[in-house]
């Protein structure tokens, strides 16, 4: 039995973002309970040269919406990367989930060989649809969700493995 490009992308990305929503919700509740200024958490980093929590969420959502758009051959919506409060970050994640949910399997399936070019600072990178999804999107997406989780856990938010994995 084979797995389709749609099955390997849209449900996986939606689940990761849904779990991130729940993680952010726990962080917001933690900040309220402990009377911590929420900007302390949304601006927190694991190390000074790493990006803060809010930026990790921007990148995770950009990666997800860019994946859907590139695989389907459509233009991705532009997000301005200005969300910094928990409520704004929740809204951005939900907007991304809603966008991903607009895609149908027939838009994504069969894109394994589609040519995808990413414009990077170091120059363009060429992928096939399958190598883009499996070798770039999913590792990058989970890196930023994991880093968001780690930032919050490091700052005392009570999170466990099941918060990251979600329920199913």
In this prediction, residue 39 carries a pLDDT of 97
> What global pTM score does this model have?
0.96
Label residue 167 by pLDDT band (50, 70, 90): confident
What's 121's domain CATH number? 1.20.120.450
Domain assignment present for residue 5? The answer is: no
Is residue 72 domain-resident?
A: yes
Residue 20, C-beta contacts closer than 8 angstroms, at least 6 positions apart: 57, 60, 93, 145, 148
CB atoms within 10 A of CB 86: 21
Q: How many domains, the chain?
A: 1
- Phi and psi, residue 125, nearest 5°: -120, 130
Does 151 fall in a domain? Answer: yes
Residue 14 class from Cβ within 10 Å (0-12 exposed, 13-18 middle, 19+ buried)? middle
Q: Is 25 a domain residue?
A: yes
Whether residue 3 lies inside any domain: the answer is no
**Average per-residue pLDDT for the chain:** 97
Integer Cα distance of 48 and 40 in angstroms: 14
Give the integer Cα–Cα distance in Å for 139 and 116: 17
Instruction: Supply the range of the domain harboring residue 92.
Output: 10-165
């Amino acid at each position: 039995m084979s797995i389709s490009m749609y099955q390997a992308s849209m449900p996986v990305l939606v689940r990761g973002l849904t779990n991130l929503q729940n993680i952010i919700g726990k962080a917001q509740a933690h900040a309220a309970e402990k009377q911590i200024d929420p900007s302390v958490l949304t601006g927190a980093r694991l190390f000074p040269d790493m990006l803060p929590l809010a930026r990790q969420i921007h990148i995770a959502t950009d990666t997800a919406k860019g994946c859907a758009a590139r695989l389907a051959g459509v233009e991705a919506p532009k997000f301005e990367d200005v969300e910094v409060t928990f409520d704004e970050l929740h809204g951005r994640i939900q907007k991304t989930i809603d966008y991903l949910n607009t895609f149908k399997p027939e838009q994504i399936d069969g894109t394994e060989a589609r040519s995808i070019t990413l414009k990077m600072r170091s120059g363009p990178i060429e992928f096939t649809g399958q190598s883009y999804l499996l070798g770039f999107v999913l590792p990058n997406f989970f890196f930023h969700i994991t880093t968001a989780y780690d930032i919050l856990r490091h700052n005392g938010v009570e999170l466990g493995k099941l918060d990251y994995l979600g329920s199913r």
